[in-house]
Amino acid sequence: MDPYSPINGISLERYAELGAELDGITDPAQQVAKVGTLGVAAGDWEAAKAGWTARMQDMSLMGQVATRYMQLYNAALASKKGTVSCSFEDWCAVSAAIQVFGYEGAMGHYKLSQGDWTSISAHWQNELARDPMNLAMRRNQLQEQEAGRLRAGGQPKPANFTRGAAGAAPAGGAGAFDPAAANAAMLQGAAQNQAAWTAYSAGVMNQPGVQLAVGMQGAMNALTGGPQFVIGQRVQVQWSDGNRYPANVMQLSATHVQIAFPNGQTHWVEPRYLTPG
């Protein structure tokens, strides 16, 4: 079956256009009434909504339908309503509010629609793809710090949003869809996210309190004849260029140690190339 074949006469392009028309309308009955004014019968709308949602969630399609839909939806929103933007710091703050209070709670507090948040996220996700290591690490740190503050009883930070005129270029771009390129981008994005989280984890491991606990565990291992290194331990790696570089132990095997450098790169090396510190 062609995953892009229309459902009850509604193509993915048309479904995205209808989604943009429904931005800000959350009541199902009101949605049905709205699409009715656009010439779409209630039964066809419900079938299209269920069918396209299922295809977007179909793991065998590797997110291709969902990726294409977001491009089309983003372009339809920009054409109809313009784009909404905010600073990187405000994006992180709203993301933290979603993490703590849930999507609807955060959107309600900041008075954003689903389309607004789509435009904002499309822009910053595109920027993350340009600088995945530095920007992703900064995003993770800012978001986790803000989420911790909110969980401790803090109030959501104020955020400023700028709205562009209808017909503006969609945030993040909306070029022709290439399934092969989409697959490659998803794989690359997964690798970049993994590297960013590894680097962030290494930073957490380097905190004094964590290293104190790691040192105590290492001492216990030494007394009982256990492994020379322990997970989380800071080490110096003797590299092929003759220099030593700082890293953290991430995993242990019978013959090798996986280490993570501060930039998120990981390697399996033999213990003889490592020294504590």
Average pLDDT over residues 126-143: 80
Q: What is the pLDDT confidence band of residue 259, given thresholds at 50, 70 and 90?
A: confident
Asked if the model's pLDDT at residue 101 lies above 80, the reply is yes
Asked if the model's pLDDT at residue 203 lies above 80, the reply is no
Question: pLDDT per residue over 218-254, tens digit each?
Answer: 555 555 555 677 777 888 888 877 788 888 887 777 7
pLDDT of residue 34: 95
Task: Record the tokens describing residue 240, joined without a space.
Answer: 């092929």
Asked if the model's pLDDT at residue 9 lies above 90, the reply is yes
Architecture of the domain delimited by 208-276 = Roll (2.30)
Q: Which residue, 79, 158, 65, is CA-closest to 115? A: 79
Question: pLDDT per residue over 57-76, tens digit each?
Answer: 887 776 788 888 888 888 88
Q: How many CA atoms lie within 13 A of 182 on its CB side?
A: 17
- Decide if 115 contacts 54 (C-beta within 8 A): no
Asked if the model's pLDDT at residue 184 lies above 60, the reply is no
Q: Which residue, 175, 174, 177, 192, is CA-closest to 61? A: 177
* Sequence spans of domains, the chain: 12-201, 208-276
Cα gap 135→129, rounded to integer Å: 9
